Chain A
Amino acid sequence: MSSHCRNDPVLSNALRARAVAIATVFALLCSCQREDREYASAPTSNAQPPRQSTLQPGATAANPADPVGQHYQDNAFHIDEGSRLYRAYNCSGCHANGGGGIGPALMDADWRYGGRIDQIHATILEGRPNGMPSFRGKLTDAQAWQLAAYVRAMSGNVRNDAEPSRREGMAATPPLDRLPKQPPRNGDPSAGTVPPP
């Protein structure tokens, strides 16, 4: 059968065209996998929390970013989960839908304690003076990262291919991909240099 196909130029051309078509479809299918939805095994952090101040004895030490953060802020699933947790854990009780209320606004470019994802992660887990409670022990580390990724994305700081274009529930703010991009004005990367007003 196969030898017959090889000898027939018309059939072999048709076969080749079919093979190319199938290969193209498979190549296109690869693009369907935008990210991994890590339900069970989201990475957690072992790194020290980032320092929040440059005040220290001796020379200024480096303040490296936690590599785990990058993973969360580039993953649409984690950002979306963060938005669900933001509502479920009543972050909106103080920060509203990002506009701020009792707590500061999260959708603007100003960051008192740093706008990098690991700094936001530390803010959530350690708490901050003047009201932000510590959520250490109340959240799993992955949840804190998801929340941090969402909070960071609220000011439009999210990669184009990682922003979820729809919300899991109803929301008062536009989808993240329609928010104006506001790069952090201060606090990043040397958080703590700007004293809280």
Chain B
Amino acid sequence: MMRTSPLRWLLPAVAMLAAGGCNRVQSVLLSSGDQASAAGGIWNLMLWVCVPIYVFVLIALALAMRRRPTPAGTTRDRAIGRGLAAWLALVGALLTVLVTASFLVDRRINRVAVAPLQIRVTAHQWWWDIQYLDPDVSKRFSTANELHLPVDRDTRIELASADVIHSFWVPSLSGKLDLIPGRTNAMTLTPRRVGWYRGQCAEFCGLQHAHMALDVRVDNAAGFAAWRAQQLAAPQLPLSGAALAGEHLFESSACAMCHAVAGTIAGGHGGPDLTHLASRRMLAAGTWPMDRDHLDRWIADPQKPKPGALMPAVPLDPRDRAAIDDYLMGLR
């Protein structure tokens, strides 16, 4: 049998991994917002300052190791002493530059936004509750696992946790910030490029930490306003008989104990708000794409794709489940 070199699979694997960094959906290096580019700028500065220094130190070390030992009692080499003093001064100056730059970038990232859009993100095991705040109570609404932001406008995001410590991370837009129980953190996002991005929980938070993703849609002002108006409106009334039966089942069985649908009597807050469920792109915090087939399988047994998720498998007749699917798929 021919022995295959590990390079044969290692190289393509590494290449594929690296190629994943080329799209902007979830990239630390290709920033799409002010905060991420500020952090990217200082990252580059530190890289270009530290790499030459590192290389220089290694060269100096190699030279020192090759140097012949001087006999005891020889006088101190004055040239080397002066060189070291200059080196110390250079290192001190460069560290000062880095500290100053880091301080300024920190201020830039944490500056107080003027008249921002206010959003409150509450992390749960293992999904994101997103509330759009507004001084006018009738203009507030909740959604889950999908964050929509207007481009070129400051958004202030309040971060809270309902259970354990999580971390909010949308690499294309900003750095990480923890969500800590009993405390509200805040960050400002200023996206500069329209598109879909992906965020995820960046602090291990339990069994399904890996299935706790967040879709972020950055839209232009008109698109965002349209989305907001749609989210504020009550969902469509069920059109078919099956969907109507589904609504009744939803409200009279275990579903309504945890889930809310605005405008109906379903008002539980143990799980994600489902008011406009069918308008979202992903299901179960980025676990599955949102379509009828996946929704049906999810309701049948959430523990299969996401073991440990807090939604139980509710014993339902397949016909009843189909009616609930009809109802939920109509929530646009």
Contacts and interface: CB of A to CB of B under 8 A. Distances in A.
B91 interface: no
Given A40-B301, A137-B254, A169-B163, A84 B314 contact: no
B253 A169 contact: no
Contact of B270 (A40, A88, A137): A88
Interface stretch (B42-50, B291-299, B305-313): B305-313
A143 B162 CA distance: 20
Contacts of A168: 163-164
Interface string B264-282: 0000111000000000000
B304 interface: yes
Interface string B228-260: 000000000000000000000000111011100
A139 interface: yes
A139 B182 contact: no
Interface residues of A, number: 16
B181 interface: yes
B257 A169 contact: no
Given A168-B163, A169-B181, A137 B253 contact: yes
A140 B312 contact: yes
Interface string A124-145: 0000000000000111101100
B83 interface: no
B253 to A, nearest CB: 6
B312 A142 contact: yes
A179 B269 CA distance: 29
Given A137-B252, A142-B312, A143-B312, A89 B270 contact: yes
Nearest to B125: A168
Interface residues of B, number: 25
Interface in A128-182: 137-140, 142-143, 168-170
B257 A40 contact: no
A126 B144 CA distance: 33
A189 to B, nearest CB: 30
A26 interface: no
B257 A138 contact: yes
B268 A88 contact: yes
A40 B313 contact: yes
A138 B269 CA distance: 14
A143 B270 CA distance: 13
Contacts of B314: 140
Contact of B182 (A137, A138, A170): A170
A140 B313 CA distance: 8
Interface of chain A, helix or strand or loop or mixed?
A: loop
Contacts of A169: 162-163, 181
A174 B169 CA distance: 34
Interface string A77-102: 00000001100110000000000000
B315 interface: yes
A132 to B, nearest CB: 16
Interface string B152-193: 000000000011100000000000000001100000000000
B303 interface: yes
A40 B307 contact: yes
B162 to A, nearest CB: 7
A68 to B, nearest CB: 16
Interface string B189-218: 000000000000000000000000000000
B133 to A, nearest CB: 22
B128 to A, nearest CB: 17
Shortest 10 CB-CB contacts between residues of A and residues of B: A88-B270, A40-B303, A140-B312, A39-B308, A39-B303, A39-B307, A138-B257, A169-B163, A168-B163, A138-B254
22 contacts: A39-B303, A39-B307, A39-B308, A40-B301, A40-B304, A40-B307, A84-B310, A89-B257, A89-B268, A89-B270, A137-B252, A138-B253, A138-B256, A138-B257, A139-B254, A139-B257, A140-B312, A143-B254, A168-B163, A169-B163, A169-B181, A170-B182
Interface of B: 162-164, 181-182, 252-254, 256-258, 268-270, 301, 303-304, 307-310, 312-315
